[in-house]
Amino acid sequence: MIAVVAKAQTVVSASVEFNYCFTTYSYDTLTVGCHFPYMWNGQSLSADGDYTATLTNSHDCDSIAHMHFITASWDNATDLGTIEICKGKSYQWTDATSQKGDTAITTAGDYTRVFTNARGCDSTVTLSTTMVDCVPEGALAGVFSISDDNGATVRQVYFAKGNLQYKTGEGFRLAEHQWDKVGGYNNTNWVDLFSWGSGKDPLRTSVTTSEQAYNFYDWGDEAIADAGPTGSWFTMTYDEWVYLFSTRSHANDLRGPARVHNVQGYLILPDNWPLNASNYPLLPNSNTPFLTNKSHANNTTFTDEEWEAVEAAGAVFLPQAGSVQSGSYSDYSSYYWLQESSGFSAYVATVTISSCSLSSTAHKSTLCAVRLVQVKP
């Protein structure tokens, strides 16, 4: 018999874990144009160069990041040059939400504004301004002195480009040409003759109450088509007309009767009109004198070409527009209303074929012409 003996054995099992570390690498290029320094992985970058940062990846191993850093200028500058601003007006920047500084410029100087461009960087805009005399809308180019405040401050004005006109449903406008005159009276069409101070009631043909007699409602306070802001025009006073005709430098030399487009009237020249040695006015770009004989309008008759040059230089022509008294129209002379009045009469500038005088008055119901002016800033 064979005996088989079984021997017990013990087996020990061992588990070994191998930890492999995977290091990762990254390579990037970054261009930055503004807002330095630029923060990258805890580093402050402000100069061109290659930068490295050691981080920890998801395997708890090193992650080596390489950065090629480039600086660029994305700021930009724009010079708008020089802008002319009309005296008394302002220049408004277009981007009022992001600008720094005032929103409007009203004086001459050099200005800088910093905006934000499309990349989020600074956009610097520079601008120079000069203040210039600008002819107001609806005005002639000439400048006329009408007072000097006892030698302290000279007050100057621009004249409207034509006599005042009105039509029901249309409102006020200025005549297209200085020689234009409607005359007569037809309140269903355009009229250019008005009773005194009738700005609020331009078709009024009678003055019967104290309100009508003593309250002057200036036509210049009303809206006038193509003549700029409402309220910018006014009717001159008696003293202002006297200063214009008699007191300003060379006052008597700068006015006289004339004929324009076959219309008789009275010519008034701006302050700076050139005179010859005999103090006669000279035609623009010429040594030809005019207003040498002031006895009759026919003595100073302009060709179309001459008048175009004279008007462009700022000359005022008051046409002999006539007047309506007691319902009757006459064009022998023409009255232009002034502001002052006394009772039921008011002062007028009287234009005839040979003169323009300031010594007359007219009943306030008389229909007379109106030529407005605007103060030069």
Q: How far apart are CA 139 and CA 27, in angstroms?
A: 71
Q: What local confidence, expressed as pLDDT, does residue 255 receive?
A: 96
Helix (H, G, I), strand (E, B) or coil at 219: helix
Q: How far apart are CA 269 and CA 144, in angstroms?
A: 8
Has residue 17 got a pLDDT over 70? no
Q: How far apart are CA 256 and CA 295, in angstroms?
A: 9
More confident residue, 174 or 28: 174
Q: What local confidence, expressed as pLDDT, does residue 75 receive?
A: 64
CB atoms within 10 A of CB 249: 9
The mean pLDDT value for 263-285 works out to 95
Convert the pLDDT of each residue in 152-163 to its tens digit: 789 999 999 999
Q: What local confidence, expressed as pLDDT, does residue 99 receive?
A: 46
Average pLDDT across the chain, whole number: 86
Has residue 96 got a pLDDT over 60? no
pLDDT band at 181 (very low <50, low <70, confident <90, very high): very high
